[in-house]
Amino acid sequence: MLRAVALRKRFPPDTRALDNVTFDVADGEVCTLVGHNGAGKTTTMNCFLDFVRPDAGHAEVDGTVVARAPIDARRRLAFLGEQVAVYPALTGRENVLFFVRLAGRVRLSRAEAGDALARFGVPDAAVDRAVATYSKGMRQKVGLAIAAAAGVRNLILDEPTSGLDPAAARDLVALLRRLAHDGCAVLASSHDLARSAAVTDVAVCLARGRVVGTVRRPGDGVSLDAWYAARYDVLDAETAA
């Protein structure tokens, strides 16, 4: 479970990045942070990763307050950025073996590493090729396989569908839904509202560092595009007033 509790953060000289940001991501849920550039999405995720320390409030991973026990919290989550942090010179299988071992988990056999990759759609023919030859979508599958093989139950993804072709994006959405079905808490940021609606259990709209709206099950009769636009229309009206 991931929880943001009254997060506040300012950057010099006087930029309000976060202002009382509060939300939960339960086990088995996908939560998507949406908002314009500069809304606070990345800063919020960075509080969970201990890349940024909030001035007030806190982020929790499975009940562990990140700022108090950052190493313990980081062991409980995996992060996939726009560029997946795997070693391009290693094969897909070697990356799984290396990173699962680095995480301090039980040592996997080569066969188990291959099974983990297969579960996330990496073809058998690619398992023992260098990751440098993989597409971006394939690298993301390796990252998800590593997280699952390491037993991580909380995932944070920054713009996961950015730069993917439609087929790769659909594959990724299906994999995220599978992980949530298996009990993982998934937090993602996205500008891709159409694809977000297909995977999201709860969408949190940020603007100027504040939560300005939350909607559950945006794919069930709720247009995420229309809901998102309405949040910003209200803000524009407040600014004009």
Of 45-59, 68-82, 211-225, give the lowest mean pLDDT range.
211-225
β-partners of residue 8 are: 19, 56
| pLDDT value of residue 234 | 55
Mind giving me the DSSP string for 39-73?
Answer: SSHHHHHHHHHTSS--SEEEEEETTEETTTSHHHH
Q: What is the pLDDT of residues 21-40, one digit of tens each?
A: 999 999 999 999 998 889 99
Q: Quick check: 237 pLDDT over 70?
A: no
pLDDT of residue 69: 97
DSSP letter at 109 equals P
pLDDT tens digits, 177-235:
999 999 999 999 988 787 777 789 999 999 999 999 888 876 655 567 777 777 666 56
Give residue 229's pLDDT: 77
* pTM of structure: 0.89
What residue ranges in 110-201 does DSSP mark as E strands? 154-158, 185-189
The predicted pLDDT at position 239 comes to 55
CA-based end-to-end distance of the chain: 39
- CATH number for 2-76+153-240 (one of 3.60.20.10, 2.60.120.40, 3.50.50.60, 3.40.50.300): it is 3.40.50.300
CB atoms within 10 A of CB 194: 13
**pLDDT above 90 covers what percent of the chain?**
70
Q: Which of 67-76, 135-144, 208-217 has the lowest mean pLDDT?
A: 208-217
Longest pairwise C-alpha distance within the chain: 64
- pLDDT at position 241 is 44
Question: Do 34 and 191 contact (CB within 8 A), yes or no?
Answer: yes
Q: Are strands 210-216 and 202-207 parallel, antiparallel or unpaired?
A: antiparallel
